[in-house]
Amino acid sequence: MDWTTILRFFRGPFFVVSLLIFIGGMTYRLVRVLLLGWSRDRVKSRGSKAMGVLKSYAKGVLVLPFIPWVKRTFGNNALTYLAGGLFHLSLLTVVVFGTPHMLVWKSLLGFGWPTLPFPVIDWLSAVGIIALVLLLINRLTHPVLKLITRAPLWLNWILVFLPFVTGYAMTHHLCLRYEVFFSLHMIAVDLLLIWIPFGRISHFLFYFFSRTIHGAQAGKRAVNP
């Protein structure tokens, strides 16, 4: 068994299976929540729910990842805020605007887009890796996180961390042959795709529920979310 064949398998049939599990699994999670019953809000609004929702998303994307809306909480959780925010920035930028990743999207969607220069992507991915390590340390030492963390969360971390480091090693042609790290990268990504519907990484879907609910309740009361 040589690495070219391994690569072929994890970029080929296994990727297909992983992606199908991801699609089916996420649909299942969505429908399970959507069909659990929602009641109409009969309370009269004081302000605009829609404005509240818009502000809620603006706050969530532009403010919260780096500067908490609430004073004082930043000082106590600087690591979570900065590392968490930078990790997400790194993830989203590298996966969407990195040239090799854009070509993956292009093959799946049928269209591509302009990408960012290699040094930018490179630095951001390094930042992402460092952020992940810091977040791991955080989860191991923070009293609240120690209390609420169970096994699935460690799996989340590993399956997100591995694509980062294998991708970085691949791009920099570190230590092993290119197809070795490429294979490891694909194995990690495939396993991640399979795992996402089964754990809390799926928060990227439910984010839209909770952020909208939060914005709506604030908008209804005419306060800032």
State which of positions 58-117 bind other proteins (CB under 8 A): 60, 64-65, 68-73, 76-77, 80-81, 84, 99-104, 106-108, 112, 115-117
| From 89-97, 126-134, 150-158, span contacting other proteins (CB under 8 A) | 150-158
Note whether 175 binds other proteins by CB under 8 A.
no
**3-state DSSP of 140-161:** HHCHHHHHHCCHHHHHHHHHHH
Out of 20, 67, 96, 137, the only residue in the binding site for other proteins (CB under 8 A) is 20
* CB contact burial 160-197 (16+ within 10 A = b; e otherwise): bbbbbbbbbbbbeeeeeeebbbbbbbbbbbbbbbbbbb
| From 39-47, 89-97, 125-133, 158-166, span contacting other proteins (CB under 8 A) | 39-47
| From 89-97, 125-133, 158-166, 173-181, span contacting other proteins (CB under 8 A) | 173-181
Out of 50, 58, 96, 213, the only residue in the binding site for other proteins (CB under 8 A) is 213
Are the C-beta atoms of 167 and 125 separated by less than 8 Å?
yes
Task: Determine phi and psi for 46, rounding to 5 degrees.
Answer: -95, -35
Q: What is the C-alpha to C-alpha distance for residues 139 and 105, in angstroms, rounded to an integer?
A: 32
Q: What is the C-alpha to C-alpha distance for residues 64 and 80, in angstroms, rounded to an integer?
A: 11
Site size toward other proteins (CB under 8 A) is 102
Out of 11, 91, 131, 191, the only residue in the binding site for other proteins (CB under 8 A) is 11
Q: What is the C-alpha to C-alpha distance for residues 119 and 175, in angstroms, rounded to an integer?
A: 20
Q: Which of 5/96 has CB closer to other proteins?
A: 5
Question: Least distance to other proteins from the beta carbon of 141, Å?
Answer: 11
Q: What is the C-alpha to C-alpha distance for residues 151 and 170, in angstroms, rounded to an integer?
A: 29
Q: Which of 112/174 has CB closer to other proteins?
A: 112
Note whether 15 binds other proteins by CB under 8 A.
yes
Note whether 49 binds other proteins by CB under 8 A.
no
Are the C-beta atoms of 191 and 159 separated by less than 8 Å?
yes
